[in-house]
Structure 1
Amino acid sequence: MTTSEAVENLSVDACWELLRSTTVGRLAVQTANGPDIFPINIAVDGGTIVFRSAEGTKVSAALNGPVALEVDGRNSDTDHAWSVVVKGHTQRIHKSEEVLATVDLPLVPWHKGDKPVFLRVQPRQVTGRRFPIAGPEAWWTPISEAPVTSED
């Protein structure tokens, strides 16, 4: 079996199932200083992703351009890993009834700071892959056993 045969492209439904199984992702945005990435606590709400934040670079960039959200995981029973990427745009949740609708979501920030801004990622594309985790022998090269010399 070749490496490419071992990679399984996931269906959109499988991607959403995996997204619902995790609470942490990384949000990639384009800022004035270039691309940046932020860890965020997430919750799936229907066919969208919801997160909370404070005003700042992340919120400004997320509202003013496309975003990508990545989540990863590992199934220790099968020794497989997976990765899901959501690409889309972000909208502020600002109507009272929309904010109240997020109260029951399992959205628990790790950081205790004030996070009054509720945001929703509206997906344009959802893709994912599952693959076996390679053991250290897969990365062995002849140089792996070369002696290391230090320059004093």
Structure 2
Amino acid sequence: MNADPTPTRTLPAHECWALLRVTPVGRLAFCQGGRPEIFPINFVIDGGTVVYRTSEGTKSRAAEKAAVALEADGLYPDSGTGEAMVWSVVVKGDAATIAVTAELMATVQLPLHPWESGRKDRFMRLVPETISGRAFPHSSANAPINREVSAT
């Protein structure tokens, strides 16, 4: 039985950035103590970098000491083919606290508001070394696009 190969498309960098600009949430990944850690974050794109807010803690301390990756994904609204398209973008690089006063003052003006309650006073900037993305048709035969999840 031969299955048709999935027509995965590699996304150019400009399309990856465009998708990230309209995406409200992603996952920040890094290793801490030899173990992977992944945290959901909301972020904004600022001059070819990713900016997010956090508190003093794991995300701020560990992310400054390790290479990090941000992953975000979603669905293209209508690809024009009648098929839903799934996309995924990964940004890899280094993150650092924004500490220079002028840069911090400019960053505070970004539309970046924490979703989680509590103090999120630390602004962090992920400076990318690489950005990559891909898109492929959603296989509706394998899984539904929308499904309800109940916490039990």
What's the TM-score, normalizing by structure 1? Answer: 0.84
The one-letter code of the counterpart of 2:64 is L
The one-letter code of the counterpart of 1:121 is L
- C-alpha separation between the residues in 2 aligned to 1:68 and 1:98? 22
- C-alpha separation between the residues in 2 aligned to 1:118 and 1:34? 24
- The sequence identity of aligned pairs, in percent, is 46
Equivalent in the alignment of 1:37? 38
- C-alpha separation between the residues in 1 aligned to 2:24 and 2:111? 8
Q: How does 1:2-151 map to 2 (within 5 A)?
A: 2-4=4-6, 6-32=7-33, 34-78=35-79, 79-136=84-141, 138=142
SS of the residue corresponding to residue 60 of structure 1 reads: helix
Larger relative helix fraction: 1
- Segments of 5+ residues of structure 1 without an aligned counterpart are 140-152
SS of the residue corresponding to residue 3 of structure 1 reads: coil
- C-alpha separation between the residues in 2 aligned to 1:132 and 1:28? 26
- Segments of 5+ residues of structure 2 without an aligned counterpart are 144-152
- C-alpha separation between the residues in 2 aligned to 1:75 and 1:14? 12
- C-alpha separation between the residues in 2 aligned to 1:58 and 1:103? 19
RMSD in angstroms over aligned alpha carbons?
Answer: 1.6
Flag the structure with larger Rg: 1
Q: 1:23 touches 1:107 (CA, 8 Å); kept in 2?
A: no
* 1:110, distance to aligned residue in structure 2 (A): 0.9
* 1:70, distance to aligned residue in structure 2 (A): 0.1
Q: Deviations over 1:81-129 (max 9, x none)?
A: 1000000001110122111111232212111210011100000000000
Equivalent in the alignment of 2:149? none
What's the TM-score, normalizing by structure 2? Answer: 0.84
Q: Deviations over 1:48-83 (max 9, x none)?
A: 000000011111111001001001111242311100
SS of the residue corresponding to residue 113 of structure 2 reads: coil
* 1:45, distance to aligned residue in structure 2 (A): 0.2
- C-alpha separation between the residues in 1 aligned to 2:88 and 2:113? 22
